[in-house]
Every structure is written in C-alpha cells, then in structure tokens.
Amino acid sequence: MTPPDTLQFSYRALRAYPGRTALILLAMCIGVAAIILLTSLGEGARLYVISQFQGLGSNLLIVLPGRSETTGGAPPLLGTTPRDLTLDDAIALYRSPAIKEVAPIIVGAAPVAYGSLEREVTIMGSTPALLSARQLTLASGQSLPDTNPRVAAAVCLLGETVWKELFASRNALGEWVRIGQTRYRVIGVLAGKGQSLGMDMSDMVIIPVASARNLFNAPSLFRIIVTAQGQEQLAQARRDVETIIRQRHDGEDDITVIAQDSLIGTFDNILSALTWALGGIAAISLVVAGILIMNVMLVAVSQRKAEIGLLKALGAPTTQVLRLFLTEATLLASAGGFIGLLLGLGGVFALNQLLTDFSVQPPWWAVIASVVVTFLTGLLFGSIPARQAARLDPVAALSGR
Amino acid sequence: MSSDPFIRLREVCRNFQVGDETVHALDHVTLDIQAGNYISVMGPSGSGKSTLLNMLGLLDQTDAGSYQLAGRELTTLAEEARAQVRREKIGFIFQSFHLIPRLTAAENVELPLVLAGMPASERRAKVQQVLQGLGLQERADHRPAQLSGGQQQRVAIARATILQAPLLLADEPTGNLDSHSSADVIRILEELNAQGITLIVVTHDTNIGGRARRRIRMVDGKVVKDET
C-alpha cells in the first residue's frame, strides 16, 4: 500500500465517523489553543516588564541603603543596623569620573492643597538629575533649580494627575500650593508618563531634595539613582560607588547597588519561567486529549474488528494494519493541532485588539512545540490501539469476536 | 497420482483450548487437491470445516503437520510472507460478504489492488473490467448498504478474484442469500472454476455441496468421507 493510499484510506475512515472525529479534533484543538494563548500571555507579560525597565534608561545604577546579600559566617554579636544613605553621600559620588549624574531621592507622603482642594500625594524630593534619569519630561514650565542640592527652595513640579485635580487643567505655573505646612511655587508640570515600575509618576509632586528633608524631618535618603557616563562606564561607576560609600561609612559595605540590566535579567528569568509553566499547564490538556485519542481509537479498533480481519484476509501485513491506524491517529492529532493553532493565533489577535498597552504574542517555541507535540501525541497514543489492531487474530476478527 | 497436487496437506492438526478441554478442530488431516478442482466441504457445526478453510487460507495456524501450496511449504512462513501468499494466491468469500460499508462497490473491489501497491491509474480500468464481467457496472458507485445481498456477494467475488488468485475459498457463500441469489452466486463461482480457479466451498446446503466434483465430509476434525 503506497503512502498516499494509506493516507486516503485513513482519511476516509475518519470521515466515516464524524462525531467521534469531531470530538477528538475539539480536544486537541482546545489543548493547542490553550498552549498558544497562555504562553502568549506569559510572553506578553515578559515583554511588557522589560519595556518598562527599558523606560528607565540604560545607564542606571540604583543605590539602596543596607546590604541585601547574605554573607556567610556568624551573625555579629552586637546588632549593627546599616548606616543610612545621606545627601552628602550622594554628593560625594560626583567625585567619580565615570558618573554623569546623581539623583538622591527622598520619598514620603504629605497633603497638598490648592485653594479649597487638598489631597494626600506622594512627594519625591530630588534634584534635576531625576528627570533625566527617569526620562521624565515637562509639559510646561521649567525643571528644579540646578543649584547646590543642600539648599532648600520652595518650588515644586506637579505630576499630570495632581495638576489636573488641583487646577482642573488650568495654568498652574507661578501659583502657590501648600505642601504640609509650607507653601511652594509651581514652576513646572510633568508630561504624563503613567505607571513606571508600579509607581505612578503622574500622581506625585517633586520638590528639591533639601526641601523634602525638611518636610519629612528625615536626614536619610530613600535611594540614589546614579547615571553612568555611558554603558561602558557602568561597571566602573559601580565600583566607584562602592568605594566612595565604603570610605564614607568607615569601611563598611552597607549598601546595595543594583544595575538595571541585572534587574531586567532577573525579571526576564522569572517571567520566562512563568511562561514555561503556563505552557506546561496547557500541555496537560494535550496529554488529556492524547488519552482521549487512545480511548476513541481503542473503541474504533473493537468496532472495526471485521474490517481489520478482512484487510488481513486480503493480504494486508501486520505492519500495514499498524500503519493505517497510526496514520489515523496522527492525522487526527495533527488536524486538531492545526485548527487549535489557528484558533490560538485568532485568540491572540483578538486579545491584542482588546488590550491596547499590553502586547500579547506567542513565543516561537510554543508554536513549534505545539505542532510537534500534537504530532507526537497522535503517534504515541495511537500506537497502543494500532498495535492492538495489528495483533488481532484474523479468524476471530472476521467473526467479530 | 498423475501430477503434484496444488494443495498437499499431511497430518495437519489444529487444537483449541475450550475451558479444560482440548478440541481437535483438525485431527491429522491429510488431503491432496489438484489444481482447478471444485470441492465442497460439508459436515455438522464444529466439525472443523471452517477451520480447514481458514487454515488453507492462512488465516489460521497449524499446530502440527505440513501444508504445501503449489509445492511450497507454508507452515514455516513468517507473518509477512503469509500475508503475501494470501494477497497473491488466495481469494476469500464470506457468508456475511465483509464489504467495508464506507467504501463504494468499486472501492471495495479495488482494495486488494491498493494493498498490493498498484498505481491508481492502472487500478481503475481493472476494477471497471471485473465489475463489468459480473454485471455490476451500474452499481460501481453504490455503497454496500444500497446493494442487495446477491449484489454484495458479487462485489465480494469481484474483490476475491481481481488479482487472479488461483485458489478461491468460500465459507458458506450463500448462507445469507435467498434461493435466486444463491443460484446466481453458485453459477458465477462455477464459471470461475471452469476458467481454472481451484474452488473450495464450505456449506451446510446439500444441494450446493452436491454440485461439487469432489465432496468432502468432516466430523470431529477428521475427513470421514471423500467422494468424487
């Protein structure tokens, strides 16, 4: 029997039992569509997070107080709390030639009032370097004064949301708002940037770092964002940050420096694992579909015993009977997989129409894997019924026993 | 013996285990059958006549003895070689026709050619010719369910003879047919025999069995009567 004839014969057999065929196609199809959709969501999440990080700029180091790595050895007898990062620490970093800008940050919350309107808003104390480091742009007005960061000034920049709520989108430049007990003059309004790493950059007010220190009565910094001169100087900048702070902190390594690409790498790993896990969960449905194929094929074999007996009587060798039933199973699985692939890609397309700022796309490996896996599923789960068919005793099979 | 027999059975045994009991379906059967003969095998149910036919058609194994077809020992052949002998040398006709319901009459007849790997272009003409010979050309595109019993059996005969197998084995070929169709089918089988095919018919029907040139009667797995 030639391969085209085998294919034709199997195809006709599948056509002869439309209900059964449709059932298996549906099962395979759901399995593959689930794999495509779930991995697409995972991949979409991964790409989304990476793009969010890249929105931060690529030459950044984030300096946090305290050591995040655990060190070996016994814990100190006397508890040592990490030294705080101070504004002077931040200013000292400018000594490094590899560092371009330093943005010290103090974060807190305070009521902001204009006229009769008042609301609790996140206040960020920093320097003009913050705007370039976080790639914030001004919709109107000017940035914070680029003077000595130790000097407080009663000026502020409003985030877009705060401006809209307090000023109902009217001109705010030159107006005075009250933050806590102090009045600040609005000198600029930020262009909307939206969410960045879970922090709504449009729903905050930026004031000079020294003013924030006074406002919150706290000398320590939340963190420092360091911008290196370039990508190549990032490693040097990191070493300089560590050296300078160690010198200032009596030889203690009590800060953590995070490079943005290592952050991306971590999230990339986590979200890739998530995508694989989602794919794995969806793959279970393929296994279930495979078992369904096996069951339905076993029923088919017992229903078509007489036909199998006849084929043997007509001189079909055992291997030919095996091939016929394997072809049926793989044909079913592959067709179901193909329809599922189309359905999954259709679902991805529909999701992309619904979600505007979140792009869903199937990872290439999921597309290839789902096609290969469906084929193998057919082959694997079809082999048991096919072998059973091939082994049937022709005399018993012909009499339907 | 004038020439080597076409079929040569020597002391062939076939046993089945039924519960604790061993049933001797074929009990040291020795037979010589000349090419072109027309043989009926009769006997009560369970006498082993169907087992004999299945064994001759290589659908069933032997437990002991020797079976030679056209001078070739078949009991020692492997499964693939047995399938080839079935395909090339033996045609089967069954009581219940055994047509594949989803295929048309023509496609059922074509099946042995497909299994033999013949190209589709050559198959069509051959099927057409065989169907025409049996007066079935009008029914070529009908499915078995749309055919009468007699027509279905004629399709089965067409299928059994399309590869010009020299041995035709018929197991109760008229068992499911009315008397008119039965006569029709027997006439066709006898015509085929007249053309040189060796015909072996297993039947309950003494009228049909009596027409054969050589009549074998079996009881309890043994040949008890063999008349010519």
Distance CA A37, CA A279 (A): 9
Interface contact A253, partner B, CB < 8 A:
no
| CB < 8 Å to B87, chain A | 314-316
- Which helix (H) or strand (E) element contains residue A260? helix A260-303
B167-171 sheet: strands from edge to edge: B90-93, B167-171, B198-202, B38-42, B214-219, B222-227
Interface contact B88, partner A, CB < 8 A:
yes
Q: Give me the pLDDT at residue A55, please.
A: 62
Q: Give me the pLDDT at residue A57, please.
A: 61
Find the closest chain B residue to A315 by CA distance: B87
Q: Give me the pLDDT at residue A291, please.
A: 87
On the CB side of B1, how many CA atoms lie within 13 Å of its CA? 10
Q: What are phi and psi of A234, to 5 degrees?
A: -60, -45
Distance CA A258, CA A273 (A): 22
Domains of chain A by residue range: 3-52+265-398, 99-230
Phi-psi region of B11 (alpha: psi -120 to 50; beta: other; left: phi over 0): left
* pLDDT > 90 in chain B, percent: 83
Q: Give me the pLDDT at residue A157, please.
A: 93
The tokens for B17 are: 């285990």
* Residue in B77, B109, B104, B115 with CA at minimum distance from that of residue B93: B109
Which residues numbered 271-310 in A keep a CB inside 8 Å of some CB on B? 306-307, 309-310
How far, in Å, are B25, B157, B170 from residue B210 at the CA level? 23, 21, 15
Interface contact A170, partner B, CB < 8 A:
no
Q: Give me the pLDDT at residue A198, please.
A: 57
Nearest by CB to B86, which of A16, A313, A319?
A: A313
Angle in degrees, 0-180, between the axes of helices A305-313 and A318-354, rounded to the nearest 10: 130
Say yes or no for a CB contact (<8 Å) between A9 and B114. yes
Distance CA A261, CA A275 (A): 20
How far, in Å, are A398, B8, B97 from residue A306 at the CA level? 4, 30, 11
Bridge partners, A179 (sequence order): A112, A182
Bridge partners, A61 (sequence order): A226, A259
Burial of B12 (0-12, 13-18, 19+ CB in 10 A): buried
Q: What are phi and psi of A160, to 5 degrees?
A: -60, -45
Q: Give me the pLDDT at residue A292, please.
A: 85
Q: Give me the pLDDT at residue A69, please.
A: 52
Interface contact A312, partner B, CB < 8 A:
yes
Categorize the per-residue pLDDT at B1 as very low, low, confident or very high, splitting at 50, 70 and 90: very low
* Residue in A374, A351, A378 with CA at minimum distance from that of residue A362: A351
* B89-119 per-position pLDDT tens digit: 999 999 999 999 999 999 999 999 999 989 9
Residue range B145-165: average pLDDT?
A: 93
* B202-216 per-position pLDDT tens digit: 999 999 999 999 999
Q: What is the dihedral of CA A214, A215, A220, A225, to 10 degrees?
A: -110
Distance CA A396, CA B25 (A): 15
Q: Give me the pLDDT at residue A366, please.
A: 84
- Which residue, among A20, A21, A311, A314, would best test binding to B if mutated, counting the most B CBs under 10 Å from its CB? A314
* Residue in B202, B179, B174 with CA at minimum distance from that of residue B51: B202
Say yes or no for a CB contact (<8 Å) between A314 and B111. yes
Residue with tokens 């009663």: A154
Interface contact A318, partner B, CB < 8 A:
yes
| CB < 8 Å to B86, chain A | 312-315
Strand bridging mode A176-179 / A138-141: unpaired
* B114-144 per-position pLDDT tens digit: 999 899 889 999 999 999 988 898 999 999 9
Q: What are phi and psi of A32, to 5 degrees?
A: -70, -40
N- to C-terminal Cα separation, chain A: 27
Distance from CA of A296 to the nearest CA of B (A): 19
Say yes or no for a CB contact (<8 Å) between B115 and A319. no
Extract the residue ranges of chain A whose pLDDT is less than 50. Answer: 70, 79
CB count, 10 Å around CB of A229? 16
Sequence-distant (6+) residues with CB within 8 A of A154 are A182, A183, A184, A185, A211
The tokens for A129 are: 């370097």
Q: Give me the pLDDT at residue A363, please.
A: 85
Find the closest chain A residue to B53 by CA distance: A395
pTM for this structure?
A: 0.70
